[in-house]
């Protein structure tokens, strides 16, 4: 593959992943006139680097886009006396003027804007990813029966050509994502696939396709694309074993989180010691306050911790407390396991850079969970159980077999997605797309909090029904009010 093809490959892979609004009318701050752009290979490589660097934003995968959905859901409790970071989301008091909300919306646009500015059609995979994230957070869950009448996202395909600033239907929005993915899959070369890749490849496009298909209730397609990664590419991607030692200090599973490197990682956002994103682990640890004690803003919910049994090695990989030498410094006496999944890449912590971990938007484990859920929807519970068991056997000291049936499948899938994908940004949308079906298993509530040790009183007793408007985030107010905007608000804007 020559250099130009390689650059175009990486750009086309990158671009399927994002979405835009009226912000798309603005030039990036770093923009240069189109006639002067990308005259040489060096220009193109610099452009590519800049696009990927945008993913280091604290509003995207190394910050709000990953953390806010799970903090809003049922996975953590705010600690009494916390700094109130992301507090509005935890309390379900999200307003259309919220700066965190605006940051996610605007920065998803920024990536696609840069793709469109430099190469107006070499932008499929990154653009699709970003569209899918906007659809996940700012739109209702996809239902084939109603998608044509529900609001989707503002679809913009060009940087410089004026287009109406209005929301397409949910159906057309998802179709646009699928069209981008189909085009990208024609271009991407499977020879570029590699574990822990920092560039988008055909494998990342297929992983996104499987995820989007699941969200669209297209069970056959979800199975098809997840199977490509699980079966057809089994020599490239493998689940990280939590029993087998990688070296004297870490198992393969623990090493994946300690050093952000694994056969399991399909795509990660690459950091270096001199160029890295926002510290994902700060709100769960806050060790840098005095470099002696920990001051978490949020600690794991009791219900989430109780999902891990004694043989599940994910628990020790994700959580730690006083017994492991991590002491909480609050004067309220809080003694609780903390999330150490994002303690920080050990190459960085040795340089006193704490809580900085490389985001991993696509891991093979998610594909097992996607395929298992799709099998359940097709009443093929044996195959679903086989997939869940295969995943768990790589996470368990012994055992791990799961039996799935018509009566237990949804709770089983929900529990396993929490255990595996804890604080990776999936939970709120899972609860949204399962809706009443899941709430009926939980006394009619999607989320039902009860106070736990030293939890912040405000928000600790919330009960959220599946029809709560804030499962769909408000459209930022400035987008509704910007000149030329025809964007309709969400119910949560009112």
Nearest CA-CA partner of 99 in 357, 462, 474: 474
Q: What is the pLDDT of residue 190?
A: 84
Q: What is the CATH number of the domain that holds 123?
A: 1.25.40.390
Q: Are residues 338 and 388 in the same domain?
A: no
As given in the structure block, the two tokens for residue 308 are 């891990």
Residue 342: give the domain boundaries: 252-349
- Residues 6+ away with beta carbon under 8 Å from 9: 1, 187, 188, 189, 192
Final residue in a domain of this structure, among 349, 376, 392: 349
The larger pLDDT score, comparing residue 20 to residue 180, is at: 180
Residues 147 and 97 in one domain: yes
Q: Residue 331 falls within a domain, yes or no?
A: yes
Q: Give pLDDT tens digits for 402-451.
A: 999 999 999 999 999 999 999 999 999 999 999 999 999 999 999 999 99
CB atoms within 10 A of CB 52: 20
Q: Is residue 34 part of a domain?
A: yes
The backbone torsions φ and ψ at residue 298, rounded to the nearest 5 degrees and listed phi first, read -135, 140
Token readout for 95 is 């307003």
Q: What pLDDT digit, counting tens, does each position of 92-117 carry?
A: 999 999 999 999 999 998 887 777 66
Residue 489 inside a domain? The answer is: no
Selection from 90, 185, 69 nearest residue 134 by Cα: 69
- List phi, psi (to 5°) of 220: -65, -45
High-pLDDT (> 90) share of the chain, %: 80
Query: Are residues 270 and 177 part of one domain?
Result: no
Q: Are 64 and 155 in the same domain? A: yes
Q: Which of 349, 381, 396 is the last residue of a domain?
A: 349
Q: What is the CA radius of gyration of the chain?
A: 22
Question: What does the pLDDT average to over 386-391?
Answer: 99
Reported as a single tens digit per residue, the pLDDT across 451-462 is 999 999 999 999
């Amino acid at each position: 593959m020559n250099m130009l093809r390689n650059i175009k490959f990486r750009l086309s892979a990158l671009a399927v992943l994002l979405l835009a609004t009226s912000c798309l009318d603005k030039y990036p701050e770093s923009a240069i006139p189109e006639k002067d752009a990308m005259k040489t290979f060096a220009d193109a490589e610099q452009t590519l680097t800049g696009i990927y660097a945008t993913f280091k934003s604290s509003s995207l995968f190394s910050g709000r886009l990953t953390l806010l959905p799970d903090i809003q859901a049922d996975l953590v409790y705010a600690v009494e006396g916390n700094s109130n970071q992301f507090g509005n989301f935890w309390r379900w008091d999200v307003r259309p003027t919220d700066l965190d909300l605006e940051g996610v919306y605007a920065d998803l646009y920024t990536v696609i804007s840069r793709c469109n500015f430099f190469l107006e059609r070499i932008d499929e995979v990154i653009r699709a990813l970003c569209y899918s994230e906007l659809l996940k957070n700012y739109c209702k869950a996809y239902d084939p029966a109603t998608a044509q009448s529900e609001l989707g996202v503002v679809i913009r395909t060009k940087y410089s050509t004026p287009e109406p600033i209005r929301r397409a239907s949910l159906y057309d929005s998802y179709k646009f994502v699928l069209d981008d993915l189909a085009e990208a899959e024609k271009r991407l070369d499977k020879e570029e696939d590699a574990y822990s890749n920092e560039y988008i490849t055909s494998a990342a496009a297929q992983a996104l396709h499987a995820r989007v298909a699941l969200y669209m209730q297209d069970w056959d397609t979800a199975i098809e694309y997840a199977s490509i990664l699980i079966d057809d590419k089994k020599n490239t991607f493998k689940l990280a074993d939590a029993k087998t030692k990688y070296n004297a200090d870490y198992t393969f599973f623990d090493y994946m989180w300690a050093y952000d490197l694994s056969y399991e990682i399909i795509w990660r956002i690459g950091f270096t010691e001199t160029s890295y994103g926002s510290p994902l682990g700060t709100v769960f640890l806050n060790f840098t306050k005095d470099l002696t004690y920990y001051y978490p803003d949020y600690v794991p919910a009791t219900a989430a911790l109780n999902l891990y049994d004694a043989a599940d090695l994910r628990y020790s990989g994700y959580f730690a407390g006083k017994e492991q030498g991590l002491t909480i410094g609050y004067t309220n006496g809080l003694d609780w396991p903390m999330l150490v999944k994002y303690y920080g890449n050990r190459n960085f912590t040795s340089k006193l850079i704490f809580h900085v971990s490389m985001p991993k938007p696509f891991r093979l484990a998610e594909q097992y969970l996607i395929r298992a859920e799709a099998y359940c929807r097709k009443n093929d519970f044996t195959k679903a159980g086989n997939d869940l068991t295969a995943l768990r056997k790589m996470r368990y000291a012994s055992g791990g077999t799961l039996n799935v049936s018509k009566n237990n499948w949804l709770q089983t899938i929900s529990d396993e997605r929490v255990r595996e994908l804890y604080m990776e940004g999936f939970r709120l949308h899972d609860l949204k797309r399962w809706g009443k079906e899941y709430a009926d298993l939980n006394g009619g509530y999607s989320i039902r909090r009860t106070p736990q040790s030293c939890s912040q009183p405000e928000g600790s007793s919330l009960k959220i029904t599946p029809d709560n408007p804030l499962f769909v985030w408000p459209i930022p107010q400035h987008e509704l009010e910007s000149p030329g905007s025809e964007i309709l608000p969400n119910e949560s804007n009112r």
